[in-house]
Amino acid sequence: MFKAVISVNFKKSILDPQGNAVLKALNSLGYQNVEDVRIGKHIEVMLDCENKDKAKEQLNEMCDKLLANPVIEDYQVEVVEVGR
């Protein structure tokens, strides 16, 4: 059994209006040292798979097909083996 943590964020070249709104709010609260905020998605998937490489392969397919929009988003997948 494997647990995957997937982080999905807009590509650097894509504007992030929600992140920009949070940046402005933090600055208005006095946090002037905050220079950039990017808002993304955090996804956890439990996967019963033969091995870590196969799990990673399937997770990348899931991201490309559904969990992320590869045109405007980047993603990172971390996979760890967990007990059943």
pLDDT in tens, 42-78: 999 999 999 999 999 999 999 999 999 999 999 999 9
Is 52 within 8 Å of 2 (Cβ atoms)? Answer: yes
Distance CA 19, CA 8 (A): 14
pTM, to two decimals: 0.85
- What integer pLDDT is reported at residue 39 of this predicted model? 97
Distance CA 73, CA 67 (A): 10
Q: State the architecture of 2-14+40-81 in CATH terms.
A: 2-Layer Sandwich (3.30)
